[in-house]
Structure 1
Amino acid sequence: MTWMPMAAVGAALFVFVLVGLRARTAGDSLDDYLTARGSQGATTLGLSFVASGLGAWILFVPPEIGAFVGPLALAGYAVGAALPFLVLAWCAPALRRRLPAGRSLTDYAGQRFGPAVRGWVLLLSLLYMLCFLAAELTAIGSVVALLTGGAGRWAVLAVAVTTLAYTAWGGLRASLATDRWQAWLLLALLALVAAWLLGQPGAPAAAPGAPAGAPLPVALSVAATLVIAVTVANLFHQGYWQRIWAATDERALHRAAWLGALGSAAAVALVGTLGIVAAQRGLPLGSPPVPLFALVQPAPTFIVAGVLVLAVALVASSVDTLQNAIASLLVTQRAGATLAGARWATVLLMVPVVAIAWQGLSVLRLFLVADLLCATAAVPLLLGLWRRTPRHAALVGMAAGLLGAVLPDAWAAGSLWQGLVAATFPANVPTLAPFAGALVGSTAATLTLAWLAPLHAADAAR
């Protein structure tokens, strides 16, 4: 490996630090540090949604889905990447009107449903975001190891320290400023790398050794699972909720959400298509399979450098958002929080996360469990925007979602224990039954209680 890829990565990280530090808040307001309230237009927010939502996972998962399951499942993944922003476009304006001084989803959960639901939502958000953070830093180490043949620990530490340098000091404004640069950079690099890889001669479709696409029922099941899992989990991403209060107005927020949805869906579809191409060319996809890197590894140095910088931009854009989001979620749970406390929280939370990422451990199973728990709670929370929903409906609905996540596989196996085991995804593969059961159970219970509740009682619970 020549010096060129490493130099490109170093230059990109240096630029991110400069942009982030220049964007730091001028005052000492904790609220501005956490929300940048009312300061961001549609374009900046939309690019931030794209950059925050697209992590290094898009270099691994969509290509594998495309290669082994096929275009239909890939389309489901692209829809799943877009849907959280469309849900945001629908519900965020109402939430802004309800809590004009809000800072987080837990603020809404506590105000609408009480401390028990607030605490549960806090735990779900932290679990999901910490898994996301550890997975992203682990991924950049894996990318560096795959493309350079060396240890990836230096990359994990470099990204963690670089992003901390500007998020701990500049807060959300620094994250938003770097997101804008990172979004343009990653979209441009993704387009250039994809154009070069797709333009290379290769074996025709159905080349010997190419994986056969999954049968239609399997592809439909995978697509539905991905849509549910990705959508509900991202609704507990505090970084997105911070940004709804950063928007200048509801129109800017609505346009930004649509821009985030379209950009994210297009990126997932494009990267997944490269996985399909790698499979069709009969390339050795590796074990575990990494279809995109099967295309990239024989490429010239400038393409390898482009992919490395792309990976760094993807990881840095999601990591800085998560750092600020987790710190924001923690410091807003107690009265008397200070700006210094928010900065220390940002720094300290990274110590265990970097330690986990250095081990190169897979957090996929924990990630899937976190996604499933989010599926039990997403609909009851959103139904809180309906005035008929009583306060107790959310807790009952979430409990019903937990039961629904277990029952389908328990019924099929004739054993409650087997249902519990299936809901922990022992094969590290998402399956439809637990997610569908969680969604149906939580929705049915919450709607039933809402319809049975007297209207005046529901209004009193608002």
Structure 2
Amino acid sequence: MSYLTSAVLGAALLCFALLGLRARRADGPLDDYVTARNSQSASTLGLSFLASGMGAWILFAPPEIGAFVGPVALAGYAIGSALPFIVLGLYGPAIRRHLPEGRSIGEFAEACYGAGVRRWVSLISILYMACFLAAELTAIGAITALLSDVPPALVVIGVAVTTLLYTAIGGLRASLATDRWQAWLLIVLLLVVGGVALVRLPEMPVQAALPAIPVGSALGVALTLIIAVTAANLFHQGYWQRVWAARDERALNRGAWLGGATTVAVVALVGGLGMLAAMSGVSLGEPPIPFFALLAEAPGWLALPALVLAVTLVASSVDTLQNGIASLAVAGSGRRGLSIGAARLVTVVLMVPVVIVALQGLSVLRLFLIADLLCAAIVVPVLLGLWQRMTPLAAVAGGVAGMLGAILPGWVAYGSAAAGVLAASFPDSIPTLPPFLGALVASTLVSLTIAWLKPRAMPRTV
């Protein structure tokens, strides 16, 4: 069976590579390599937002949220997953008008606030995307071990090398081309795997009820997820690239709404499977993995399409992250003339430590939460950059206040700054609302106050 599984996964990765390589522009300039400027339709962008935003995480987190916290928190997760696309769809046209030759969130920050803020924002963005990459590759290793006899390291390296091949050579166009097919493939596979698993689900007990916790607690979890996921994904350079890749402002807006709507539907569907698994009384495992618990009741052959689904999910997010990190590093270098060869080298070099971390099989959830919190602390000051009254002082002060605001709830609750820092580092790897809410509120209030009291002396073009 391992030979068949290896052959099927290899064929899927080969198809992705061929699709990506066919889309490349052999004679295209660096700008086209990292932005595919003004070339993509609304439907392509919508499918790309869906595919690049989805990852192996949807097979773990939404089903667990649905199974243990219930529909309210699941709705928060779905909204948080889609909201970054909507924000960029609404805000992106203004960014395009004020920065028509832009390429990255770092360049946007520099145009608004200067080179110092650009470096800060770029560092946070790269940290977040590196965590995302490591998490995705770690997840595909775990899923491979769970569903097959194929060595997990083989699949981890296979996904990393294959996506690296077509993104390093083809740039953003390669990622966008594969996203279209990966989006449709993951929808079909998810419906097949989920449908067959549901058919084989045990009959619901008479006393079955929707999983739920008290409404107040569920709303707290939902709000935490909305803030954390939205703030972090607004530092995803792969999404910012698509702001300039859109054919025009209308295509960007429609593509963002399409990507957001389909993302909500997919997250709700997968999370709903988790709720049904919990309601049916099947063993969810230890640690609980409701989606894969459903597969335990399904025919053995379903493991193969489930594994192809997981590989598709990982590849669709990994290629976007690889190209996003490379483009941010290139755009952040301050040298507009950096060669495509150098951009490709950056892509390869940055993947080496990520793959090494992924092969360790470590949990990166706590690091992910810390990166989310850093993003939440500075997301509002960054997005306020187009407001004419905003200054570098207001942005930096807002970011610092956001970090202090993240620590303050734990400081007040436990009586010491050290306890506040510990609480804001999520020692139990569980997302809690106070640090995220404190970061968001403090950064917003301080940025707005300083900008209002000490506005920019002279108007600027961006």
Q: TM-score range by the shorter chain?
A: over 0.9
Q: How does 1:4-403 map to 2 (within 5 A)?
A: 4-204=4-204, 213-334=212-333, 335=335, 336-403=337-404
2:393 partner letter:
H
Cα distance in 2 for partners of 1:65, 1:5 equals: 30
Q: TM-score, normalised by structure 1?
A: 0.96
Cα distance, 1:333 vs structure 2: 2.0
1:41-65 superposed Cα distances (whole Å, 9 cap, x missing partner): 1111111110000000000000111
Query: In structure 2, do the counterparts of structure 1 residues 427 and 313 end up closer, same or farther at CA, with 3 Å as the change threshold?
Result: same
Cα distance in 2 for partners of 1:207, 1:6 equals: 43
Instruction: Give the secondary-structure state (helix, strand or coil) at the position aligned to 1:459.
Output: coil
Cα distance in 1 for partners of 2:234, 2:206 equals: 39
Cα distance, 1:390 vs structure 2: 2.5
Instruction: Give the secondary-structure state (helix, strand or coil) at the position aligned to 1:430.
Output: coil
Q: How does 1:419-438 map to 2 (within 5 A)?
A: 419-438=420-439
Number of equivalent positions: 460
Deviating more after overlay: 396-405 vs 21-30: 21-30
Cα distance in 1 for partners of 2:434, 2:206 equals: 32
1:13-71 superposed Cα distances (whole Å, 9 cap, x missing partner): 11101101111113141111111111111111111110000000000000111111111
1:100-127 superposed Cα distances (whole Å, 9 cap, x missing partner): 1110000010111112211110110011
1:161-219 superposed Cα distances (whole Å, 9 cap, x missing partner): 111111111111100000111001001111222222223342425769x9953222221
Residue 201 of structure 2 contacts residue 280 of structure 2 at CA under 8 Å; is this kept in 1?
Answer: no
Cα distance, 1:383 vs structure 2: 1.1
2:268 partner letter:
A
Runs of 4+ in 1 over 6 A off after TM superposition: none
1:330-389 superposed Cα distances (whole Å, 9 cap, x missing partner): 122221411100111111111111111111011111110000000001001111122222
Cα distance in 2 for partners of 1:338, 1:273 equals: 47
Residue 33 of structure 1 contacts residue 173 of structure 1 at CA under 8 Å; is this kept in 2?
Answer: yes
Query: In structure 2, do the counterparts of structure 1 residues 211 and 417 end up closer, same or farther at CA, with 3 Å as the change threshold?
Result: farther
Query: In structure 2, do the counterparts of structure 1 residues 458 and 286 end up closer, same or farther at CA, with 3 Å as the change threshold?
Result: farther
Cα distance, 1:2 vs structure 2: 6.0
Instruction: Give the secondary-structure state (helix, strand or coil) at the position aligned to 1:457.
Output: coil
Cα distance in 1 for partners of 2:151, 2:206 equals: 35
Query: In structure 2, do the counterparts of structure 1 residues 390 and 340 end up closer, same or farther at CA, with 3 Å as the change threshold?
Result: same
Deviating more after overlay: 300-309 vs 67-76: 300-309
Cα distance in 2 for partners of 1:32, 1:461 equals: 25
Residue 47 of structure 1 contacts residue 179 of structure 1 at CA under 8 Å; is this kept in 2?
Answer: yes
Residue 297 of structure 1 contacts residue 304 of structure 1 at CA under 8 Å; is this kept in 2?
Answer: no
Residue 238 of structure 2 contacts residue 323 of structure 2 at CA under 8 Å; is this kept in 1?
Answer: yes
Cα distance in 1 for partners of 2:460, 2:38 equals: 30
Cα distance, 1:151 vs structure 2: 3.3
Residue 391 of structure 1 contacts residue 458 of structure 1 at CA under 8 Å; is this kept in 2?
Answer: no
Deviating more after overlay: 386-395 vs 27-36: 386-395
Deviating more after overlay: 376-385 vs 300-309: 300-309
Cα distance in 2 for partners of 1:222, 1:200 equals: 31
2:105 partner letter:
L
Residue 4 of structure 1 contacts residue 305 of structure 1 at CA under 8 Å; is this kept in 2?
Answer: no
1:214 partner letter:
I
Residue 140 of structure 1 contacts residue 156 of structure 1 at CA under 8 Å; is this kept in 2?
Answer: yes
Cα distance in 1 for partners of 2:141, 2:10 equals: 15
Instruction: Give the secondary-structure state (helix, strand or coil) at the position aligned to 1:225.
Output: helix
Query: In structure 2, do the counterparts of structure 1 residues 36 and 190 end up closer, same or farther at CA, with 3 Å as the change threshold?
Result: same
Cα distance in 2 for partners of 1:442, 1:204 equals: 48
2:264 partner letter:
A
Query: In structure 2, do the counterparts of structure 1 residues 461 and 424 end up closer, same or farther at CA, with 3 Å as the change threshold?
Result: farther
1:231-277 superposed Cα distances (whole Å, 9 cap, x missing partner): 00000000011111111100000000001101111111100111111
Query: In structure 2, do the counterparts of structure 1 residues 372 and 201 end up closer, same or farther at CA, with 3 Å as the change threshold?
Result: closer
Q: TM-score, normalised by structure 2?
A: 0.96
Cα distance in 2 for partners of 1:404, 1:268 equals: 30
Residue 5 of structure 1 contacts residue 301 of structure 1 at CA under 8 Å; is this kept in 2?
Answer: no
Cα distance in 2 for partners of 1:252, 1:187 equals: 22
Cα distance in 2 for partners of 1:229, 1:205 equals: 36
- Aligned position for 2:440: 439
Cα distance in 2 for partners of 1:299, 1:8 equals: 20
Residue 390 of structure 1 contacts residue 457 of structure 1 at CA under 8 Å; is this kept in 2?
Answer: no
Deviating more after overlay: 401-410 vs 283-292: 283-292
Residue 147 of structure 1 contacts residue 297 of structure 1 at CA under 8 Å; is this kept in 2?
Answer: no
Cα distance, 1:391 vs structure 2: 2.9
2:346 partner letter:
A
Instruction: Give the secondary-structure state (helix, strand or coil) at the position aligned to 1:292.
Output: helix
Cα distance in 1 for partners of 2:191, 2:177 equals: 22
2:8 partner letter:
A
2:119 partner letter:
G
Residue 6 of structure 1 contacts residue 305 of structure 1 at CA under 8 Å; is this kept in 2?
Answer: no
Residue 387 of structure 1 contacts residue 458 of structure 1 at CA under 8 Å; is this kept in 2?
Answer: no
Instruction: Give the secondary-structure state (helix, strand or coil) at the position aligned to 2:457.
Output: helix
Structure 1 gap segments, 5+ residues each: none
